[in-house]
Amino acid sequence: MFNFSREETDKLKEQLKVKGYKLTPQRRAVLDILLENEGKHLSTEEIYDLVRSDCPEIGLATVYRTLQLLERIGAICRMNFDDGCNRYELVHKNEDHQHHHLICKSCGSVEEVEYDLLETLEKKVEEKYNFKIENHSVKFFGYCEKCRNNVNND
Nearest alpha-carbon partner for 34 in 73, 66, 82, 72: 66
Q: Which amino acid is at 54?
A: D
Q: Which residues of the chain form contacts with a second copy (CB under 8 A)? A: 80, 82, 102, 104-105, 111, 113, 117-118, 120-122, 124-125, 128-145, 148, 153-154
Residue closer to a second copy by CB (options 38, 116) is 116
Closest by CA to 91, choosing from 112, 109, 108, is: 112
- Interface with DNA by CB under 7 A: which range of 16-24, 91-99, 105-113, 129-137? 16-24
Question: Which partner from the list DNA, a second copy, none does 47 bind, CB cut-off 5 to 8 Å by kind?
Answer: none
Q: Examine residue 44 and tell whether it contacts DNA (CB under 7 A).
A: yes
CA 25 to chain centre: 21
Residue window 23-42: x/- pattern of binding to DNA, with contact defined by CB under 7 A:
xxxxx---------------
SS3 sequence of 20-34: CCCCCHHHHHHHHHH
**What's the rounded Cα separation, in Å, for the pair 70 and 15?**
10
User: Which residues bind to DNA, rule: CB under 7 A?
Assistant: 13, 16-17, 20-27, 43-45, 55, 57-62, 64-66, 68, 84-86
